[in-house]
Structure 1
């Protein structure tokens, strides 16, 4: 007997409620070796309902909202279980650092951020639980999908020769999206049924039905609970299979059905807005350093002491170049008197670059620590450089990569759902 089914039978017996027991404890769905309880579903429905109200979108019927939220919970459970089997865990330090980063981005201390959450009736522990879940799922997707996605130079060139001529990112598009999904290897009858459903959706929309409402009620895409809104995107960030349609559409247009491996899609061009582009200038820095590595014989205190001594000798007239050749543990740059030549932003580790950027020309830093050891840094010169060509290629490469990841993620999630053991108690929805 399949393990999930054994557990299901056990849980079913365990959760048989005695007379007067709270309905909130009943099982709504079995997901592999786990369950979704009524209280989980109700809590998530309440959160999503609040978001929908705040967005001023028409609320879908209760049974539709519960179904969409349950689908989301099922996918979260399937991904968390796969992450656990893959050995992906987030320790408390990583979680705390991520929470502190979010607080900083909102210009708050952690304590202020916590108080703000509580004012909104959100417990800090619930926030941490959701954050942990998000980090784990992102790491899982990175491992399952991101590491497999490669972008070739030829793909970059092809993009620049074709889509690059569409105006680049000068125009932004806001799209609505509806998906009627199909499993891998779907039968002819299943395909016909999906096509018929999509044709009906297109008819409804072209007759004036509210797109967000239809998306919430009928879409099986991950954006359904947002009314199918994909947000503002330049052409470079629109899924490849939509691009040819989007550039031909006018605001308010509804596309014909678009078939993909994951199902049949309908898109609506909600809005467009202009943009601009120009040169991409960067500041390059000519820099040199002396590195002292720590080891069994040289601890942090000793490394700093040596560098302070070397800085004093430079102040007294000794040559930076000569001392770098004689004392630096970075043997590659030591041969050139400690020179790292001209470096672009992002080329060096963050601690080194942050210190370097604060130095005046010819100024020598105090000893600073990075993952490589302890450094003395001297900036020799700075210059502005037009990096537009290289920047454009890197942007294109990242754009293609994001597209591939988005498309692969959609297929991967559909496969995960199709292959997972899920039993839903429809009489409880």
Structure 2
């Protein structure tokens, strides 16, 4: 939780000490400012709390940890960026409701195969505060929404870009496989001079040599990387090669899991990428059902009871052999299908309401269902056919769109983070 400057002006009276027969109130500083960030501050307690969380997480993962001063610098840099984004969120009126926060906490617990109560107990066991965890989750939701507004919404990918990508050799080659990646970024300041470039290049080369000699990639990322994912040990998650800027998109084809690239100069600095693992890309097949239906809805002039009587009569006429399409044209109150004899075409079962989907699944091909009720009224349906549709092309187009957006997003995000950091007033207290 952020602490406003006015809160710093409230001294804490710790107690009175007796000396030479008189009491003297002693004031003691319980907390201190470690950084001023535009209109807000970061307190030592915030830094300590985040350090404790990260150090516990690193201890669980095992392996050596970077020097504490190095880790503390990484954590403080992340807190500064987070604080700037939270201030933007506050100015933009972005809020997270308690219901949204509870849902997010529930999702985190579920991913760890826990109930919320078990999650709270696990936090307490690790010496972590549940309320502080909720606050951090709230902050991350706000930051995500800020990035969506300031970065993601500015990214546009045209249909022509998707077509060009799918037609390219790179697109054809890379859509068949995904890569789990990690990275280390040795930063360069904007408008870096030759000496700064040379120093960064030397640090990148030294980092690469240590990695080749067996240094742990995650530890090196923690100690040296300036990327936004440094505290995640450089983990980038699963990516398509085309989501990466050249030449990494081509270099991945030459790597085996565990391999790293040599340092590559990029706009933000020198980057080293590690291939953690790969996985294939399977075809997308979707089950579809060809169905038609008759819908009868209650209205101001027809009660629910009368509606049920009418749908039962229509069902009986169907059982007596009357034509489904003719009855649908005469009675159905679904404007989207009535004129077509109730025909809804081939549909994805996931696109209809649960009651309709369940009855459709239980109805054999060419069979007519008994009347059933949904939120829209009373239905009778007939299944005309079932098929498994190869959605690979549509999936590939969507995948290409996601790749191109993600590629642009990663570049734009890093540029935006550097921009807000450069434009902000930041004073780090020693």
TM-score under structure 2 length normalisation: 0.79
Give the unaligned 5+ runs of structure 1. 1-6
- How many residue pairs get matched? 407
Please state if 1:21 is matched with 2:40.
Answer: no
Paired residue secondary structure (1:199):
helix
1:59 deviation in Å?
Answer: 0.7
Paired residue secondary structure (1:28):
strand
Q: Kindly provide the CA deviation profile for residues 335-382 of structure 1, in whole angstroms up to 9, marking residues without a partner as x.
A: 223332112365x2665775466442333573323xxx5573635132
Q: For the structure 1 residues 249 and 124, does the alpha-carbon distance in structure 2 shift closer, same or farther, using more than 3 Å as the test?
A: same
Quote the residue 2:39 is aligned against: 33
Quote the residue 2:416 is aligned against: 412
Q: For the structure 1 residues 396 and 374, does the alpha-carbon distance in structure 2 shift closer, same or farther, using more than 3 Å as the test?
A: farther
1:63 deviation in Å?
Answer: 0.6
Task: Work out the CA distance in 1 between the residues paired with 2:225 and 2:309.
Answer: 68
Task: Work out the CA distance in 1 between the residues paired with 2:305 and 2:268.
Answer: 62
Q: Kindly provide the CA deviation profile for residues 184-208 of structure 1, in whole angstroms up to 9, marking residues without a partner as x.
A: 5555554444334333433443454
1:167 deviation in Å?
Answer: 5.6
1:148 deviation in Å?
Answer: 2.4
Q: For the structure 1 residues 105 and 63, does the alpha-carbon distance in structure 2 shift closer, same or farther, using more than 3 Å as the test?
A: closer
Task: Work out the CA distance in 1 between the residues paired with 2:297 and 2:98.
Answer: 30
Give the unaligned 5+ runs of structure 2. 15-25
Task: Work out the CA distance in 1 between the residues paired with 2:131 and 2:153.
Answer: 32
- Please tell me the root mean square deviation across aligned C-alpha atoms, in Å: 3.6
1:284/1:384 contact within 8 Å kept: yes
1:286 deviation in Å?
Answer: 1.8
- The equivalent position to 1:282 in structure 2, one of 282, 286, 294, is 286
Quote the residue 1:75 is aligned against: 81
Q: For the structure 1 residues 31 and 167, does the alpha-carbon distance in structure 2 shift closer, same or farther, using more than 3 Å as the test?
A: closer
Q: For the structure 1 residues 107 and 197, does the alpha-carbon distance in structure 2 shift closer, same or farther, using more than 3 Å as the test?
A: closer
Quote the residue 2:170 is aligned against: 163
Paired residue secondary structure (1:247):
helix
1:307/1:376 contact within 8 Å kept: no
Q: Kindly provide the CA deviation profile for residues 83-108 of structure 1, in whole angstroms up to 9, marking residues without a partner as x.
A: 12112112222223333444455565
Q: Kindly provide the CA deviation profile for residues 149-195 of structure 1, in whole angstroms up to 9, marking residues without a partner as x.
A: 2223333333333224436444x544331112345555555444433
Identify which range, 32-41 or 151-160, moves more after superposition. Answer: 151-160
Please state if 1:263 is matched with 2:269.
Answer: yes
1:37 deviation in Å?
Answer: 1.0
1:53 deviation in Å?
Answer: 1.1
Matches within 5 A, 1:52-71: 52-71=58-77
TM-score under structure 1 length normalisation: 0.79
- The equivalent position to 1:332 in structure 2, one of 336, 343, 351, is 336
Task: Work out the CA distance in 1 between the residues paired with 2:158 and 2:60.
Answer: 43
